[in-house]
Amino acid sequence: AMSNPDDYGELSNESDAPFVQDKGSFDALEAFYTVGDNNDVFLRKLKELKTKYGSIRTIRGDGNCFYRAYAFAIFESLINNVEGAKATKGKFEGIFKKLTGEGGLGYQADAIEMFYDECINPLDEMIAGTYSADKLMTTFGEYQYSNAIVFFMRLVCSCYLQAEEDQFAPFLMGEGLTVKQFVTAEVEPLEKEVEQLQIIGLCQAMGVPLRIEYLDRSDGPVNHHDFPEGGDPEIFLLYRPGHYDLLYRS
């Protein structure tokens, strides 16, 4: 069947596609958009993106791609950064305590501990100097570990939205949802895609600024959005309709 470019299609949505692929060139993406009709806008924007970004890492399109890409980029940046790994470990410990501790959000520790542990284990190895980029690819390539990390990142986002309820509740009033209802339905379940609120929540919770470049049909140059606005982005994602991949500056 012909691929529909507005549905990022065969490129990364195969259920047997790797969760995280090796860093590569933009060739596959260009080839993908060369096939169909009316894709000139995509090809033009890709050309522009290539002046800023040297490579792309494709993430499986399964509804978890935003969380998986963002988490991968954070862990990747910490491989040879012991202080950063310690700080991130401290952040996760604080979040776990807020989720499960006295006067916290009421989550059962034994229900989420295994997911939390999969986030802490790589950090402990980084702190000990025994972790590597190859290990990271293995961790993120295995269903059990990769999705455990994704699920805990969803909890990180959920925890932040709930803790900062006053900031986020007004955005949900139109939908008649409480923050708790929203996170239960739209944040915590695996494969639920992100909207603006989840992106803001996760970036604020982790404190790692993000830029999203939009590969879409809009006129003009490539649009981007920084989270938080005016932040100095450390992670760069490419958005195509319904999907996120990881970009690397040239």
CATH, domain range 5-64+209-249: 3.30.200.60
Can 225 be counted among the known catalytic residues?
no
Residue in 42, 25, 37, 125 with CA at minimum distance from that of residue 85:
125
Q: Which CATH number fits domain 65-206: 3.40.50.2300, 1.10.1740.10, 1.20.1300.20, 1.10.8.350?
A: 1.20.1300.20
Q: How is residue 173 written in tokens?
A: 């009033």
Q: What is the pLDDT of residue 14?
A: 59
pLDDT of residue 249: 98
Residue among 62, 157, 159, 203 flagged as catalytic: 62
Which is catalytic among the residues 119, 157, 203, 243? 243
Pick from 70, 68, 95: nearest CA to 191: 68
Residue 13 has what pLDDT? Answer: 57
pLDDT digits (tens, 9 = 90+) for 81-92: 999 999 999 999
- The answer to whether residue 119 is catalytic is no
Residues of the chain predicted below pLDDT 50: 1-10
Tell me phi and psi for residue 143, to 5 degrees: -45, -50
CA dihedral (191, 168, 101, 117) positive or negative: positive
Q: In sequence order, what DSSP letters do the residues of 64-100 get, joined into one string?
A: -HHHHHHHHHHHHHTTT-HHHHHHHHHHHHHHHHHHH
pLDDT in the model for residue 94: 98
> Is the Cβ–Cβ distance between 58 and 24 less than 8 Å?
yes
* Amino acid (one-letter) located at 81: N
Catalytic residue flag (residue 65): yes
Spot the catalytic one: 37, 65, 159, 225: 65
Residue with tokens 């190859």: 134
Q: Please, how many CA atoms are within 13 Å of residue 68, restricted to the half-sphere of its CB?
A: 31
Q: Using CA atoms, how far apart are residues 31 and 39, in angstroms rounded to an integer? A: 11
Q: Which tens digits make up the pLDDT trace of 23-65?
A: 999 999 999 999 888 899 999 999 999 999 999 999 999 999 9
Domain extent listing, the chain: 5-64+209-249, 65-206
